[in-house]
Chains A and B, each alone.
Chain A
């Protein structure tokens, strides 16, 4: 018993484990997929955010620079409109140009005394200025102290190939003692003739460039000016400057990723003086992406942590779910196993019983069959013996009694044979309408033909032409058995009562006798095979009649039962199915 249950428990545990594993796999894959996409989306969001920050900062920077530039240009424009400067050119008084300009430009020139004073930012003050003649060349100044000194090469940088009516922006680089050269933003403002509006000269002012290297932004941005193939940014080492200059040369103004000192940077470049006659200059801004990597790493860890937590929760959940799902299955499995065990046992028992039954039936059949022939031979011998003439009357009586015994023996063997066939289920009835009324009459006639030592009185009450469904010889056998019993167990001068009735398609035939009543404790056993009543020891019979009758009645889908047994009457009731009379009466 315990081994299969244990086996079943193992199988159920296996099922639960498989369920758990499957749930875990599903949860894990869903979580991992979610994590993968979530991480990717978040990482790209972080990058986009950072780029937006860069763009915002860059835009702010460029707007501020444009604003400053516009302010400076406007200031220069006002300066070149000054009457004295205009007059110096228009009235052919170049000798008065620089002396007049010294006065006119005093405000815009940075104070050479205290550059770190509290005044306005130095970026809004010019470091030097020069006038360009009609040919774009620098007009020499007698006193360079007031106008800011420039070397010959520097002066060449501010000269223009030709005058333009529009302001020009450029950058001047000045080599210094330090490795990092100075950079100046130069604005060339044309001096327009009041008559023709054509440029007759130009004023060139040099300013400190906007925010180059001075800016310490929140994003860690660094910027510089790329002019004449060289990047100038005090915030960057020369190697980085060279690298960035190369990158910008290759990619122009497209934003690119570059590696500076092993840290990825995002590089933005923009032309500072589009369309200028001066050498092209680009503003170069680099944003460190190290922060991005840090942020992304942090995010990744957070996502991973959340994922692990989710997985743990999922595993716990799947464990609970699989346990709950497995519980009814487990119960079902145990139950079915128990049922199966019972079934197997029941089947085994049934088989055993069936085999015993078959054995006993076969035994009965074999025994009866084997007995039948010797009895017939015995009777024939006895009958032959009786025909002899030299027998005394006593001897004749003795032989006749023996012959009678052989008949009983034959009858018994027939009954046994019939019973065994019924037990084996081999008795097949040929069901047909049987006229019970006639059968009763015939049986009563037979009864009347028997030597009447009891002086019995017979009462009958049955409808004529009562038909039942059955096989005639077996129906008659039931009837004869009952009537024989009623006669056999009656008392002298007793009564046999027989009446039949029809009720709901069932024909009930009650046969009663006025013999001694059957004791209540034996009433239940009278239908058992080989049972005989206590009072009938001296009566012929083997206790097979009632059993046989009942079996036959039941085979006819009817029944036989003891209706009552008291001092007055012992009644048996046999029930048959009613049958309509045959259309053609049997011949």
Chain B
């Protein structure tokens, strides 16, 4: 939901004429019957982190200029879970971690892409604990207090990315023309790639089988 709000903001900075890619990523099967209130939880199997139900992140790789104003994003801790549990951000994004629970949380990451430890804090903690993610890579968020809480931040060196729908379909808009590589991050060990050639205002379809 927050992601959807952020996406137009990210695209708005781009030139008016832009290409669009539509497609579908073949997703692994969900581990269990999804619950009605669909949240994405981070699960791990054989050391591979992914979401459940599975979704993928599709992004366009290429040499894109860094944003002048650092983009911002949020991962909320609510009901002892991270929301969202999977967050793609552009390098340099400042992510805030508001605590909306009555309990303490202590978010930390031992991931090589970003190591940090926010220490314990409560809901009314100001300034809002936040981190700037300036290295591309996958960051695993954990809460020191609640061992089961887990979230993933995929730091990307591109402003063009989107999370697929649970059925794997995606649509990337406002893409610059040129030769690029379209990638689909499926889980921590699996990222698929496709070279794409984009014209202005072209609309192409790319599927990741």
Interface, chain A (partner B; CB < 8 A): 81-84, 86-88, 90-93, 96, 193-196
Contact = CB atoms under 8 A, between A and B. Distances in A.
A196 B48 CA distance: 10
Interface in B110-153: 110-112, 115, 140, 142-147
Contact of B112 (A81, A83, A92): A92
Nearest 6 interchain pairs by C-beta? A195-B44, A93-B110, A91-B110, A87-B110, A83-B142, A83-B147
A87 B48 CA distance: 14
Contacts of A92: 110, 112
Contact of B147 (A86, A88, A196): A86
B44 A194 contact: yes
Interface in B25-84: 43-49
Contact of A196 (B47, B111, B144, B146): B47
Q: Is the interface of B mostly helix, strand, loop or mixed?
A: strand
Interface residues of B, number: 20
Contacts of B111: 91, 93
Given A87-B108, A91-B112, A91-B140, 7 more contacts: A82-B144, A83-B145, A84-B144, A87-B109, A90-B47, A93-B111, A195-B47
A194 B44 CA distance: 7
B142 A87 contact: yes
Nearest to A89: B110
A82 B147 contact: yes
Contact of B46 (A83, A93, A196): A196
B115 A93 contact: yes
A84 B108 contact: yes
A193 B109 CA distance: 17
Interface of B: 43-49, 108-112, 115, 140, 142-147
A84 B110 contact: yes
A83 B48 contact: no
Contacts of A195: 43-49
Contacts of A194: 44
Of B45, B115, B144, B146, most A-chain CB atoms within 10 Å: B144
Contacts of B142: 83-84, 86-87
A83 B143 contact: yes
Contacts of B143: 83
15 contacts: A83-B108, A83-B142, A83-B144, A83-B145, A86-B147, A87-B140, A88-B110, A90-B140, A91-B111, A92-B110, A93-B115, A194-B44, A195-B43, A195-B49, A196-B45
A562 B51 CA distance: 163
Contacts of B147: 81-83, 86
Contacts of A196: 44-47
A98 to B, nearest CB: 13
A90 B44 CA distance: 10
Nearest to A96: B110
A82 B144 CA distance: 7
Contacts of A86: 142, 147
A445 B33 CA distance: 170
Nearest to B149: A83
